[in-house]
Amino acid sequence: MRGLASDNASLRSFLATITGPIVLVGHSYGGAVITNAATGNPNVKALVFVDAFAPDQGESLGALSSAPPPPGLNASCLDPTQSFNFVPIKGDVDVYLKPSIFPSCFANDLSVDKATVLASVQRPLALSVLGEKSGAPAWKTIPSWYLIGKLDLVIPPYAQFFMAQRAHAAIAYVNAAHPSMISHPEAATDLIEQAAQTITGNSDTNSRLALVPTSL
- The pLDDT score that the predictor gives to residue 203 is 57
pLDDT at 20: 87
Query: Is residue 206 scored above 70 in pLDDT?
Result: no
pLDDT of residue 139: 98
Indicate the burial class of 88 (C-beta count within 10 angstroms; 0-12, 13-18, 19 or more): exposed
The pLDDT, as a whole number, for residue 207 is 40
Across 147-174, average pLDDT:
97
Q: Sketch the domain layout of the chain as residue ranges.
A: 4-62+135-214
Mean pLDDT of the chain: 92
- DSSP 3-state assignment of 214? strand
- Report the distance separating Cα 127 and Cα 168, nearest Å: 30
Q: What local confidence, expressed as pLDDT, does residue 78 receive?
A: 93
Query: Count of H helices and E strands in the chain?
Result: 7, 8
Strands (E) across the chain are located at 22-28, 44-52, 84-89, 92-97, 125-126, 144-149, 170-174, 210-214
% of the chain with per-residue pLDDT over 70: 93
pLDDT for 212 equals: 54
Mean pLDDT of 120-128: 95
Residue type, 107: A
- Whether residue 47 contacts residue 26, with contact meaning beta carbons closer than 8 Å, is answered with yes
pLDDT of residue 89 exceeding 60:
yes
CATH architecture assignment, domain 4-62+135-214? 3-Layer(aba) Sandwich (3.40)
What is the model's pTM? 0.92
Note the pLDDT tens digit of each residue in 11-30. Answer: 999 999 998 899 999 999 99
Condensed to tens digits (0 to 9), the pLDDT of residues 38-70 reads: 999 999 999 999 999 999 999 999 999 988 999
